[in-house]
Amino acid sequence: MRLHSPRLLLLSAAALLAAAGVARADCESDLTQLEQAYKAPNLSADAKQALDGAKTKAVSALKKDDDATCHKVIADGMSKAGMTLK
């Protein structure tokens, strides 16, 4: 019986790196939607303030690679602005 541990180790490492990249991509796509929300017609001052707060917190979460927090703060900010995150 041959052991395939080096191959298994490489595949495991690749899967872990891919998962980390997906999390970052999700936060980035949420941030893209947030940026598009600024272009909404008749954006009130309160809505803009909610989006600004969400953006600040989301960028901080992105730097920490915390996709869950990033998604949550963007969804909450957009909700306060009367919009939904897709």
**pLDDT for 26-85, tens place per residue?**
899 999 999 999 999 999 999 999 999 999 999 999 999 999 999 999 999 999 999 998
**Cα distance between residue 47 and residue 73, in whole Å:** 14
Is the pLDDT assigned to residue 9 strictly greater than 80? no
- What's the predicted TM-score (pTM) here? 0.69
pLDDT of residue 85: 87
CB 27 within 8 A of CB 61: yes
pLDDT of residue 26: 87
CB 85 within 8 A of CB 78: yes
The residues, ordered by sequence, that sit 6+ positions from 23 with a Cβ below 8 Å of its Cβ are 65, 67
Is the pLDDT assigned to residue 13 strictly greater than 80? no
Is the pLDDT assigned to residue 5 strictly greater than 70? no
**Cα distance between residue 73 and residue 41, in whole Å:** 22
